[in-house]
Amino acid sequence: MTVQMQENVVRTNPPGEEKSTPLVQKMWSIGGGKGGTGKSFVTLSLGIRMARMGKKVVIIDADLGGANMHTLLGIRSPDLTLNDFLEKRAATLNQVCIGTPIDNLNLISGGDDILNLANPKYSQKERIIRNLKKLEADYIFLDLGAGTSFNILDFFIYTPGKIIVVSPFPTSVQNAYGFIKSALYRHLSRLFARNNEILRLIKRLIDPGSEERINSTVELIAAVDKLDTASAALMQKEVEAFQIKLIVNMAKSDENKKVGDIIKIVADKYLGVDVEVLKAIPFDALVEKSILLTKPLLFSDTGSEVSASLYEIASDILKA
């Protein structure tokens, strides 16, 4: 039986928008499940490092409803926020970019309208996505919130660059893998949104209580292939293209650094997702102190192990 293949709803060119040049690998989402892994610290540090390399960088505080990036930058109360864009007081995202103490680094703050920002309407989310590629920047970093809500997953899926930050604790490792699995499930579900037969198969991959559990994407694609070969080929292509970079943060030992390899092995075995483990960031008590002082470590630090690790990660991103 032939089934109809669907276009990914989280698309480069939303409905009604003329086809444009595909997004280049300059846009990155930083996610990873629950909070406490240091996503905001990593996002800000990479932004500072890239800015100091001469790149024009915009950080978007996409932790909708829990924005704190401006605080980390020592900015008490942003004059403009993402909410000004959502409420159409600003026509473009460029208009709500504010300067920071770092040359070449601008910020789009999430603001403090928690109710409105945490639950944006579908049309508002699509408007943000349409405007992302119009931002005047060499690199864009989206600092995503905690959890696996559809809003968070959709932003993660949309950006060509995908980074997961994980801390070396069992719960963080489980959450990071769960985030990858949920993001892939969301992507495939949107891709085949109008095909109920394939959607039922995808649900069997994500639902642990399913009586006829599908345990891996290999099994899923094989099941889809029985319905339609073209759809199976499309799914295989999308899974292979779903590439993720992973950073282990706050590593205190070589053993801590190996948690990235564990996630890589499991993601490849069960999801078929290629996870590239980047340089681990070592634990440093000065990082926590700098956060409490709202003075990012990289404002002044250039010689620590943390700084060296972030420089290596930024260099890898530049090569992507």
Please state whether the predicted TM-score (pTM) of the whole model is above 0.85: yes
Whether 283 shows a pLDDT value over 80: the answer reads: yes
- Looking at per-residue pLDDT, the higher value among 1 and 107 belongs to 107
What pLDDT shows up at residue 77?
84
**List of E strands, 279-319:** 281-282
- HSE-up (13 A, CA, CB side) for residue 182: 21
Output the pLDDT for position 86: 85
Residue 14 has pLDDT above 60, yes or no: no
Q: What is the pLDDT of residues 169-222, one digit of tens each?
A: 999 999 999 999 999 999 999 999 999 999 999 999 988 777 788 999 999 999
Which pLDDT band holds residue 15 (cuts at 50, 70, 90)? very low
Give me the pLDDT at residue 8, please: 34
What integer best gives the mean pLDDT of the chain? 85
Q: What is the pLDDT of residue 65?
A: 64
**pLDDT on residue 146:** 84
How many whole angstroms separate alpha carbon 274 and alpha carbon 266? 10
* CA–CA separation, 264 and 194 (whole Å): 31
Which tens digits make up the pLDDT trace of 74-112? 888 888 988 889 888 999 999 999 999 999 999 999 865
Is 314 or 63 the better-scoring residue by pLDDT? 314
pLDDT score of 119: 65
Q: Does the pLDDT at position 56 exceed 50?
A: yes
Reply yes or no on whether the pLDDT at 225 is more than 50: yes
pLDDT of residue 291: 66
* Better pLDDT: 281 or 151: 281
Contacts of 249 (CB under 8 A, 6+ apart): 37, 38, 41, 42, 165, 166, 167, 280, 281
Listed residue (320, 250, 236, 235) closest to 284, CA to CA? 250
- Phi, psi angles (nearest 5°) of residue 161: -95, 130
- Pairing mode, strands 281-282 and 244-251: parallel
Rounded to whole angstroms, the Cα distance separating 161 from 98 reads 23
Residue 1 has pLDDT above 90, yes or no: no
Architecture of domain 27-170+244-319: 3-Layer(aba) Sandwich (3.40)
CA atoms within 13 A on the CB side of 183: 31
pLDDT of residue 64: 67
**What's the pLDDT score for residue 36?**
81
Task: Specify the pairing of strand 161-166 against strand 275-277.
Answer: unpaired
Per-residue pLDDT at 299 exceeds 60 = no
Give the per-residue pLDDT at 23. Answer: 46
pLDDT at 90: 94
**pLDDT tens column, 116-164:** 555 677 788 888 888 998 999 999 999 998 888 888 899 999 999 999 9
CB of 96 closer than 8 Å to CB of 107: no
Give yes or no for a contact between 11 and 154, defined as CB atoms under 8 angstroms apart: no
Identify the pLDDT of residue 207.
83
* Pair of tokens at residue 263: 């996630």
Domain ranges of the chain: 27-170+244-319
Q: What is the pLDDT of residue 294?
A: 61
pLDDT of the residue at 302: 62
